[in-house]
Chain A
Amino acid sequence: MMLLLIVIIPLLGAGFFGVFGHRQWAFSANIAFSAGTFLAACAMTVRVLHGGPILAFHQQFFIDPLNVFLVDLTAFVALTTSVFSRAYMRIEGHTGRLNPARLRVYHAMYQLFIFTMLLALTTNNIGVLWIAMEGATLSTALLVSLYRTPASLEAAWKYFILCGVGIALALFGTIMVYFAAHGVLGAYRALLWTHLDGVKDRLDPAIMTIAFVFLIVGYGTKVGLVPMHNWLPDAHAEGPTPISAVLSGLLLNVALYAIVRFKVLASGDTGAHWPGALMMGFGLASVLVAAFSLARQRDVKRLFSYSSIEHMGLATFAFGMGGPLATFAALLHMTVHSLTKSSVFFTSGHVAQKAGTQDMDRITGVMDRNPAMGWTLMLGSLAILGIPPFGIFASEFLILTAALRQDPWSVPFLILGLGVAFAAIFRKTQAMVFGATEIPRAPSPPSVFPSVLHLALVFGLGLYIPHALAVWYTEAARLAGP
């Protein structure tokens, strides 16, 4: 039942806001629903930690260490984002950039989006997984175009078409998996991951090859892997900031989660090598292309969305390497990245809102204007750049270690990517945070709290990973990394 709550609460929320989403108190209600989801997630986590994996509803739902921590992460970031969006979207509403009708759409779609992601994470049925991913695309398409500006519409259009095509290809891949499996498992169970996992060594490799190609291209589009990444910067830059935060922090993770699940199947018991190699290739390409695209960005949210591409590439690369250490690192990287990146998006969104522009050349002196915001932006971008003692350094440290052990050839590329990314992003951040400004000191915004909270968590993870969490990651790594 707990499990059901997780998906039901946001669904109810979506319906609820479909009616009341335009009211003043909707902002707070949004927090309430997200909090409910988060509590349900925590309760379920406790159960999993004690009772072990759960199968529910004719095995349609499935919770194991691999997805439970993603569920928690999703619920948590959804909660903090709702706290942030309360402050942020209020201002948007008051400044009249959004009318009540659109606020209604916003809230409804926000909850729907959370629902689809949680569904995608918790389902055991790869078909439902696909439907959920498609649903996530559809629900966010309208959010991206929320401002109805030409730019936002173009972004939404790109987003819809590219991700739609990607998702469609993923469906073809799913069908192929089913095709490979239903001879073995029979029509009903051939879509249930648990069963597929059981017989993965008996699935026909030829079909699984084609299937995995389609799946990685399809879901990879949503992860933002190069060269299918071009929807990502626009969608992040044009949508409202809370959406950018959840897109970067959560949706990418979920899509990557899907790929990892299928990698487990495709590489089979024998641990066929090429799916991993494929992921490593995509990962490296993403890291390099994203790093080299960073330097020329002028829009602050665009800048950080490219950095999301880079980090997702890093995680994909690590998953591709496989092995307990690399997979552990990749999971850790997913966690810290989504925390840090959402925090960075919060802050930069605020900065842009205050400055009235997302053009970085016209934003200066944040430190003078508002020290709290200046420090969060500075430390956040340093954290995203993998400066210790923030958690991303820990994960990158582990990834490099694994790479040096397993695939030393890749290390120069990784280092190059990291170095270039540092130069590009830090130059911009420094120009924004420091420098003189005419705008008078503003009181620190109420919602600096979520970003600070995230940064604090990431900071802690860099210095000390709690035992429970470590065990949990190791467990998940065992599942995900053959």
Chain B
Amino acid sequence: MPSFTSVINLFAALFLLVAFAMLSQRRLANLINLYAWQGAILSLGIATTAYGTGNTHLYASAALNGILKILVVPILLRRLVRRLDVQWDRESLVRIPTTMLIGLALVIFAFNASLPIAGLAHTVNHETVGIALASVLLSLLMMILRTTALSQVIGFLALENGLIFAATSVTYGMPMVIEFGIALDVIVGVFILGVFFFHIREQFDSLDLNRIEGRED
């Protein structure tokens, strides 16, 4: 049914857009908001897929992701920001425009890399794979370019979003157990990160990576 594939494509495009926005955003609060938005788009996308393909367990997955990524994780992160009062990410070495250009290059690359899959696009058109791949690479790029631990983590979570997106939109979702497993991992991960941050904080009284990575080996 072309209509719903086009909807998915729309979401995919939005997803990519948000990824770009995150790449450019340096204020942590906004970054977290963007992350929440991405989560929203993700869960909507999953819901659409569920509606379109009619396998119901995807609804659960959508709900799970929604709760997790629109509510739980952002709240946790906001609290962290407040507790550690870091507002801004430090100026990174690479200027924003350059960053955007690199990101663009990555997107193009991702699309080309996913071209061969177009051959057997029986379920879905290959753009979605390409977009998923692109968003993964973009988040990776973001992790590379950011200089505070917190924004690096947000990048990491975004990366994980991209994966879920790929999983659902490309393959109509993984089996439920996997979905739950992944979700569990995310939560645990965030908690452990929270613990980390406080340790790091008490050791280095900063989340600035340059301070953390002090020593030569």
- Say if the two chains contact directly (CB < 8 Å): yes
A178 at the interface (CB under 8 A from B): yes
Known contacts A157-B149, A210-B113; A164/B156 CB under 8 A: yes
Q: Are B160 and A168 in contact (CB under 8 A)?
A: yes
Residue-wise interface mask of B (132-158) relative to A, using a CB-CB cutoff of 8 A (1 in contact, 0 not): 110010001001000001001000100
Pick out which of these stretches binds chain A: B16-24, B25-33, B191-199. B191-199
Complex contacts, A156 vs chain B, CB 8 Å: 196
Residue among B159, B189, B199 making CB contact with A145, cutoff 8 Å: B199
Chain A residue at smallest Cβ distance from B55: A187
Q: Are A160 and B143 in contact (CB under 8 A)?
A: no
Q: Are B174 and A178 in contact (CB under 8 A)?
A: yes
Q: Are A175 and B171 in contact (CB under 8 A)?
A: yes
Total inter-chain residue pairs, C-beta < 8 Å: 123
Complex contacts, A188 vs chain B, CB 8 Å: 175
B94 at the interface (CB under 8 A from A): no
* Docked complex Cα distance between A209 and B114 (Å): 11
Complex contacts, B116 vs chain A, CB 8 Å: 206-207, 209-210
Which of under 10, 10 to 19, 20 to 34, or 35 or more describes the interface residues of B? 35 or more
Q: Are A131 and B182 in contact (CB under 8 A)?
A: yes
Pick out which of these stretches binds chain A: B3-11, B59-67, B97-105, B117-125. B117-125
Complex contacts, A165 vs chain B, CB 8 Å: 140, 143, 156, 159
Q: Are B170 and A154 in contact (CB under 8 A)?
A: no
Q: Are B143 and A206 in contact (CB under 8 A)?
A: no
Q: Are B136 and A154 in contact (CB under 8 A)?
A: no
Q: Are B172 and A172 in contact (CB under 8 A)?
A: no
A179 at the interface (CB under 8 A from B): yes
Chain A residue at smallest Cβ distance from B171: A179
Residue-wise interface mask of B (206-217) relative to A, using a CB-CB cutoff of 8 A (1 in contact, 0 not): 000000111101
The count of chain A contact residues (Cβ–Cβ below 8 Å) is 46
Q: Are A172 and B113 in contact (CB under 8 A)?
A: no
Q: Are A164 and B199 in contact (CB under 8 A)?
A: no
Q: Are B163 and A172 in contact (CB under 8 A)?
A: yes
Q: Are B215 and A154 in contact (CB under 8 A)?
A: yes
Pick out which of these stretches binds chain B: A15-23, A27-35, A134-142, A463-471. A134-142
A480 at the interface (CB under 8 A from B): no
Residue among B114, B143, B182, B212 making CB contact with A210, cutoff 8 Å: B114
Complex contacts, A153 vs chain B, CB 8 Å: 196, 199-200, 203-204, 212
B1 at the interface (CB under 8 A from A): no
Which of A134, A161, A179, A191 has the most CB atoms of chain B within a 10 A radius of its CB?
A: A179
Known contacts A175-B163, A175-B170, A187-B175; A134/B215 CB under 8 A: no
Residue among A128, A157, A207 making CB contact with B196, cutoff 8 Å: A157
Which of A128, A157, A191 has the most CB atoms of chain B within a 10 A radius of its CB?
A: A157
Complex contacts, A456 vs chain B, CB 8 Å: none
A100 at the interface (CB under 8 A from B): no
B108 at the interface (CB under 8 A from A): no
Q: Are B178 and A127 in contact (CB under 8 A)?
A: yes
B91 at the interface (CB under 8 A from A): no
Q: Are B185 and A135 in contact (CB under 8 A)?
A: yes
* Docked complex Cα distance between A168 and B140 (Å): 10
Complex contacts, B166 vs chain A, CB 8 Å: 172, 175
Complex contacts, B192 vs chain A, CB 8 Å: 138, 141-142, 160
* Docked complex Cα distance between A299 and B215 (Å): 13
Q: Are B199 and A148 in contact (CB under 8 A)?
A: yes
Chain B residue at smallest Cβ distance from A299: B217
* Docked complex Cα distance between A128 and B195 (Å): 26
Chain A, 161-204, CB within 8 A of any chain B CB: 161, 164-165, 168-169, 171-172, 175, 178-179, 182-183, 187-188, 191, 204
A150 at the interface (CB under 8 A from B): yes
With both chains docked as a complex, state the minimum distance between the C-beta of A128 and any C-beta of chain B, in angstroms. Answer: 7
Known contacts A127-B174, A182-B171; A150/B163 CB under 8 A: no
B181 at the interface (CB under 8 A from A): yes
* Docked complex Cα distance between A179 and B123 (Å): 10
Residue-wise interface mask of A (294-326) relative to B, using a CB-CB cutoff of 8 A (1 in contact, 0 not): 000101001000000000000000000000000
Residue-wise interface mask of A (207-239) relative to B, using a CB-CB cutoff of 8 A (1 in contact, 0 not): 101100000000000000000000001100100
Chain A residue at smallest Cβ distance from B209: A157
Known contacts A160-B192, A188-B175; A172/B136 CB under 8 A: yes
Q: Are A127 and B175 in contact (CB under 8 A)?
A: yes
B188 at the interface (CB under 8 A from A): yes
Q: Are A168 and B174 in contact (CB under 8 A)?
A: no
Q: Are B196 and A179 in contact (CB under 8 A)?
A: no
Q: Are A154 and B182 in contact (CB under 8 A)?
A: no
Complex contacts, A183 vs chain B, CB 8 Å: 120, 122-123
Complex contacts, A178 vs chain B, CB 8 Å: 167, 171, 174
Q: Are B171 and A161 in contact (CB under 8 A)?
A: no
With both chains docked as a complex, state the minimum distance between the C-beta of B158 and any C-beta of chain A, in angstroms. Answer: 10
Complex contacts, B193 vs chain A, CB 8 Å: 160
Complex contacts, A210 vs chain B, CB 8 Å: 113-114, 116-117
A151 at the interface (CB under 8 A from B): yes
Q: Are B204 and A150 in contact (CB under 8 A)?
A: yes
With both chains docked as a complex, state the minimum distance between the C-beta of A360 and any C-beta of chain B, in angstroms. Answer: 13
Q: Are B181 and A145 in contact (CB under 8 A)?
A: no
Residue among B133, B149, B178 making CB contact with A131, cutoff 8 Å: B178
B93 at the interface (CB under 8 A from A): no
* Docked complex Cα distance between A280 and B203 (Å): 41
* Docked complex Cα distance between A134 and B156 (Å): 14
Chain B residue at smallest Cβ distance from A213: B113
Q: Are A204 and B120 in contact (CB under 8 A)?
A: yes
Complex contacts, B132 vs chain A, CB 8 Å: 172
Complex contacts, A141 vs chain B, CB 8 Å: 192, 196
Complex contacts, A191 vs chain B, CB 8 Å: 174-175, 178
A–B pairs, 25, beta carbons within 8 Å: A131-B182, A141-B196, A145-B196, A148-B199, A150-B204, A150-B215, A153-B212, A161-B143, A161-B156, A165-B140, A165-B159, A171-B163, A171-B182, A172-B163, A172-B166, A175-B166, A175-B171, A175-B174, A179-B129, A182-B172, A183-B122, A191-B174, A191-B175, A206-B117, A210-B114
Q: Lowest 6 A-B CB distances belong to which pairs?
A: A206-B116, A127-B178, A131-B181, A179-B171, A134-B185, A175-B167
Please report A residues at the B interface, Cβ cutoff 8 Å: 125, 127-128, 130-131, 134-135, 138, 141-142, 145, 148-151, 153-154, 156-157, 160-161, 164-165, 168-169, 171-172, 175, 178-179, 182-183, 187-188, 191, 204, 206-207, 209-210, 233-234, 237, 297, 299, 302
